[in-house]
Every structure is written in C-alpha cells, then in structure tokens.
Structure 1
Amino acid sequence: MIESREELEAIRKTCHSMVTRSSSLSAGTAIIPIPGVDIGSDVAILLRLIPKINDKFGLTPEQIEDLDTESKVMVMAAISNVGSKMAGKYITKKLVISLLQKMGVKVAATGVAKYVPFVGSAVAGGISFTAMKYMGNSHIEDCYKIALAALENNQTDLEPAPGPVEPE
C-alpha cells in the first residue's frame, strides 16, 4: 500500500522511465523493414510493461484481491471512474491487441512508411516510439489517479474523528 504522495510521485517517475525505455525498444523494432515484426514486438513489450506498471502502483489483480473489502470496493470504484482498461486486470495478448487496434493509425502509418527507403524506417520508428509512449504514459496517469484516490481515502480513514468541543 502506498503511504504518501511523495512515494506515489516516485513511482510515477520510475514508470515514466520504464515507458521511455520500452518506447525506444519499440522504435528500434519498427525500423526493421519486415512487415509485422513491430506489431509482434509491441504486443510483447506491452505484455511485460503494463503488468509492471500495475504492480508498482499496487493495482495487479492479486494486490487488489489482498485488500480489505472496503479498500477493494474503493479501488474498483476508482478504476471504474477513471475508465482504465488495464488497471486491476490480467493483461492478456487479446487485450493488448485490442488496444493496439484502437491505435490503428500507428499500424497503418508504420506499415506503409517501411517501404520508403531510409526515411520510411525513421518515420516508422518515430511513430512507433510516440504511440508506445502515449499508451504507456496514459496508463501511468490512470494508475496514478486510482492510487491517489486510494491514498486520499486511506488518509481520510486515519484522521481522528472530531471529539467534543470543550469551552475555553
């Protein structure tokens, strides 16, 4: 369980670094002029990256299951309010592919760009980097909002109830 905003900010920063590394890997794969290699690579990257982000924020299905009932309900409500498709869920190949399909512009643009010598590979790499970074950072922000709501809820629960007011 995340104990403070400072800890939450540190987790967010670590996750942004993980996304940047993964985005660079995705871009490197997109440069390879073989159709389909980048999509398979992106699926594999996201199958590793998203669960790691969920774990850092305490939002894997197992971590949520271990919470007390009240906390679990609050976290699930926060996930629903944020509209996250990946927080608190088992990340499957089918889920990742569906999310990548929603980013179909990237797939179409990199697929066509690869056939333009030299410049096409660079364009494909740039598009791939940007798309992966956008997906990863969007997920981080969703997780951050969920974890912040949980943190604020826990801090409210820890505050002592106001006692009787004594006359001065």
Structure 2
Amino acid sequence: MIESIEELEAIRKTCHSMVTKSSSLSAGAAVIPIPGVDIGSDVAILMRLIPKINQKFGLTPEQIDSLDTESKLFVMTAISNTGSKMAGKYITKKLIVMLLSKMGVKVASKGVAKFVPFVGSAVAGGISFSAMKYMGSRHIEDCYQIALATLENERRKHEIIIEPAPKQGG
C-alpha cells in the first residue's frame, strides 16, 4: 500500500518513464513498412505495460482483492468514478484491441502513412509514439487519481480524534 504523496509522485514519475520507453518501441515498430506489424506490437507492448502500471499503483485485481472489504469497495468506487477502463482489471488482448480501436483515426492514418516512402514511415512512427504516449499517460493519471483518493481515505480512517477529558470535581 502506498504510504505517502511523495511515494505516489515517485511511482507516477517511474510509470511516465516506462510509457516513454514503450512509446519509443511502438514508434520503432511503426516505421517497419509491413502492414499490421505495428498494431500487433502495440497490443503486445500494452499487454505488458498496463499491468506494470497497475501493479506500481497497487491496482492489480490481486492487490485489490487482498484489501479489506471497506477499502476494496472504496477502490472499486474510485476506479468507477475515474472512468478507467484498465485499472483493477485483468488486461486482455480483447480489451487492448478495443481501446486501440477507440483511437481508430490515429491507427488508421498510421497504416496509410506507411505507404508514402520514407516520410510516411516517419509520420507513422510519430503517430504511433503519440498514441502510445497518450494512452499510457492517461492510464497513469487515472491510476494516480485512484491511488490519491485511496491514500486520503486511509488517512481519514486512521485519524485519531482526541476529545478533551471531562473536568473532575467541578
């Protein structure tokens, strides 16, 4: 469990670095002028990246299941409130493909761009990098908001309210 805002910020920074590296891999695959290679690699990259981000923020299904009932309910509500499609979920190929298809314009233009010699590959790489960076960064921010809300909820639960002692003999 995340203990402080500082720890949460460090996790966010680490995850952004992972997303940047993954985005570079995606861009590299997009430059290869073979149709379909980049989509397959994007799915594979996201199938590894998203669970790693979830794990860092304590939001894998297993981590959530290990919480007490009240905390589990709070986390699931926070996930629902952010609208996250990937936090707290088992990441499947079907889920990744669905999310990539929601970014359809970028994916389609990336495929078409490959057929323009040289410049097209560079454009496809740029689109791929941007799409992967956007998806990863958005997921990090969702996870950050969920973890922040959970941290604040835990702090409220553990605050000790000190009441003044009743006066004696008075």
Bin of the TM-score, shorter chain as denominator length: over 0.9
Superposed, 1:51-90 pairs within 5 Å as: 51-90=51-90
Superposed, 1:123-134 pairs within 5 Å as: 123-134=123-134
TM (normalized to structure 2)?
0.96
TM (normalized to structure 1)?
0.97
Whole-angstrom distance in 1 between the partners of 2:106 and 2:166? 66
Identify which range, 72-81 or 157-166, moves more after superposition.
157-166
**Could you tell me which residue of structure 1 aligns to residue 15 of structure 2?**
15
Superposed, 1:147-158 pairs within 5 Å as: 147-158=147-158
Query: Which blocks of at least 5 consecutive residues in structure 1 are unaligned?
Result: none
**Could you tell me which residue of structure 1 aligns to residue 102 of structure 2?**
102
Identity %: 78
What amino acid does structure 2 have at the position aligned with 1:102?
Answer: K
Whole-angstrom distance in 2 between the partners of 1:139 and 1:44? 16
**Could you tell me which residue of structure 1 aligns to residue 160 of structure 2?**
160
Deviation sequence 1:61-85 (CA, Å, 0-9, x none): 0000000111001000100000100
Query: Which blocks of at least 5 consecutive residues in structure 2 are unaligned?
Result: none
What amino acid does structure 2 have at the position aligned with 1:53?
Answer: I
Offset of 1:162 from its aligned partner?
3.7
**Could you tell me which residue of structure 2 aligns to residue 42 of structure 1?**
42
Offset of 1:157 from its aligned partner?
1.0
Report how many aligned residue pairs link the two structures: 167
RMSD: 1.0
What amino acid does structure 1 have at the position aligned with 2:62?
Answer: E
